[in-house]
Amino acid sequence: MRDDPMHNLSTLDALDRQIVHALQLDPRRPFSGVAADLGVAEQTVARRYRRLRRDGVVRVIGAVDSPALGENDWIVRVRCRPDGAQQVAEALAKRHDAAWVSIAAAGAEVIFSLHPRSGRDRDDLLVQRLQRSAPVHDIAASMILHRFVGRDVKDWRGRRHATAAPAPAAADGSDDDPRLREADFVLLDLLARDGRAGYSTLARATGMSIGRVTRRIAALEAAGILYFDLDIAPAAPGAALIAFLWLGVTPARLDSVGEAVAAQPETGYAAAITGPFNLCAVLSCRNADDLYRYVTTRMAALDGVHSFELSPVLRRLKQAGAQADDGRLAHPAPTRPSRRR
């Protein structure tokens, strides 16, 4: 447990916040480009990012997009014995295909997003491992049908979906071929740990040439398989209360309600999903009073909502790519991504 208070984006100075925002827009943008945009020295941007990363406030990560591999993303609710939720959440947080792992509902529910590389990986977790876990009472897995992207770049994995779909590339076995191969898994593991690792560093670690590393990253990005994101510590936004909002929406109004929810300042993520609730959102509020006002004003004004449920988050054990430790991003241990079968 650290003695110093956790930085949050409300206490970081203006330049820190500008750097964070710039890296949300383009996580691998050279520091020289960020510095030019902000009118400061490149060394200043680099020094500040290294400090924020060292303090566990932010980290650029590289990740694989399941839909680009022909799989679907899921939001999973695991209802557990309260004394077993921590055990289940910790096990999930260690998996490369599980992200945003949280304990909610007074400690009786674990909520996470699942990004499987294959149907076998999905079934191994949902049908085998979780079902056989002693603390687990039941599982509700909802497929993500559509993500709603708000005006601000802060939502889970939503930024890249605002762009056009990538054009298909020729599968010819060259470095431009986007199909994953054995050598790519070491590269992906390194990028998961440090999405801003330089090409020369990646080349030394993988045994590839700098040119080949550059081409492989470009090919995987162009195919939509690899994307980069800025992971932000749970305590960084400064909100004291985070809650999952589950909405039942009339189908004819689902798109308009989803767009409206995503545009609201409290919303960090919004998606249309399968299941009894067909819209899920993650809200960040200062306190319970703010959450109550949101429900009775912003949400109440939405036409088409016929039911809802709130699941306050007690603690978050993992962000997009790194496990959380006392509100900060912990430096993750190396994890070799599983091969697509």
Per residue in 129-152, pLDDT tens? 888 888 999 999 999 999 998 655
Residue with tokens 């304990």: 103
How would residue 262 be classed by pLDDT, with cut points 50, 70 and 90? very high
The pLDDT, as a whole number, for residue 128 is: 84
- Cα gap 82→193, rounded to integer Å: 31
pLDDT tens digit string along 280-298? 999 999 899 999 999 999 9
Output b/e per residue, 183-222; b: 16+ Cβ within 10 A: ebbbbbbbbbbbbbbeeeebbeebebeeebbebbbebbbe
Given a contact cutoff of 8 angstroms between Cβ atoms, the answer to whether 214 and 270 are in contact is no
| DSSP β-bridge partners for residue 323 | 318
- Cα gap 104→176, rounded to integer Å: 43
Using alpha carbons only, give the angle 76, 267, 115 rounded to the nearest 5 degrees.
30
- Cα gap 84→89, rounded to integer Å: 9
| Averaged confidence pLDDT in the chain | 85
Q: For the chain, what's the residue count?
A: 341
pLDDT tens digit string along 194-214? 999 999 999 999 999 999 999
pLDDT above 90 for 36: yes
The pLDDT, as a whole number, for residue 238 is: 61
Report, as an integer, the average pLDDT of 124-131: 86
The pLDDT, as a whole number, for residue 250 is: 97
How would residue 337 be classed by pLDDT, with cut points 50, 70 and 90? very low
The more confidently predicted of residues 238 and 89 is 89
- Cα gap 83→86, rounded to integer Å: 7
- Cα gap 318→328, rounded to integer Å: 10
What's the Cα-to-Cα distance from 230 to each of 17, 163, 329, rounded to whole Å? 13, 17, 12
Strands (E), 49-156: 58-64, 74-80, 98-104, 109-114, 136-147
pLDDT tens digit string along 294-334? 999 999 999 999 999 999 999 889 988 888 877 788 876 65
* Residue 162, burial from CB neighbour count under 10 angstroms (0-12, 13-18, 19+): exposed
Out of 8-17, 98-107, 152-161, which region has the weakest mean confidence (pLDDT)? 152-161
The pLDDT, as a whole number, for residue 282 is: 94
SS3 content of the chain, % helix, strand, coil (to 5): 35, 25, 40
The pLDDT, as a whole number, for residue 158 is: 43
The pLDDT, as a whole number, for residue 118 is: 81
Out of 44-53, 66-75, 96-105, 332-341, which region has the weakest mean confidence (pLDDT)? 332-341
The pLDDT, as a whole number, for residue 240 is: 75
pLDDT above 50 for 164: no
- Cα gap 206→190, rounded to integer Å: 9
How would residue 157 be classed by pLDDT, with cut points 50, 70 and 90? very low
- pTM to 2 decimal places: 0.80
CATH number belonging to domain 167-223: 1.10.10
In this structure, how many other beta carbons lie within 10 angstroms of the beta carbon of residue 309?
13
Report, as an integer, the average pLDDT of 264-276: 94
Q: Token digits for 333?
A: 């241990």
